Amino acid sequence: MADELERARKRESKLVAVFSAIDARQDAEVALGEALIELKDLGVAQADLAEMTGLSAREVGAAIRAAKDRTATGVETPETTDEQPSDTTSDHNGAQSH
């Protein structure tokens, strides 16, 4: 019985670590998207962004969407607190709750 309880505690602890890592990954994706958006605003084409960064076009698009989705939902990262919300809408594909 004590072994099962200890195992359940360890499992819960590891799940907390997993969700923390997921949140950190989402924050990093948003930060990447914000930087890519700034480069686009400076005149760099999205296809060129992929080539310059070594990311696939799909990864570039996903990061940009993540940044726009975060802004559109009103959730702001420390980097975006001084920026105005975007006029874009999001489809919330891949949105997770936990």
- The predicted model scores a pTM of 0.64
Question: DSSP class of residue 85?
Answer: P
Express each pLDDT in 39-48 by its tens digit.
999 999 999 9
Is residue 84 included in any domain, yes or no? no
The domain in which residue 68 lies consists of 2-77
Residue 66 counted as domain residue: yes
Residue 19 within any structural domain of the chain: yes
- With residue 89 as reference, give the H or E element that holds it: none
The answer to whether residue 65 is domain-embedded is: yes
pLDDT attached to residue 26: 95
The residue ranges of the chain whose pLDDT is under 70 are: 75-98
| Residue 12 is assigned to a structural domain of this protein | yes
pLDDT for 93: 47
Q: How many independent structural domains does the chain possess?
A: 1
- Helix, strand, or coil here: 36? helix
CA-to-CA distance for 65 and 38, rounded, in angstroms? 13
Distances (CA, A) of 17 to 11, 22, 26, 66: 10, 9, 14, 22
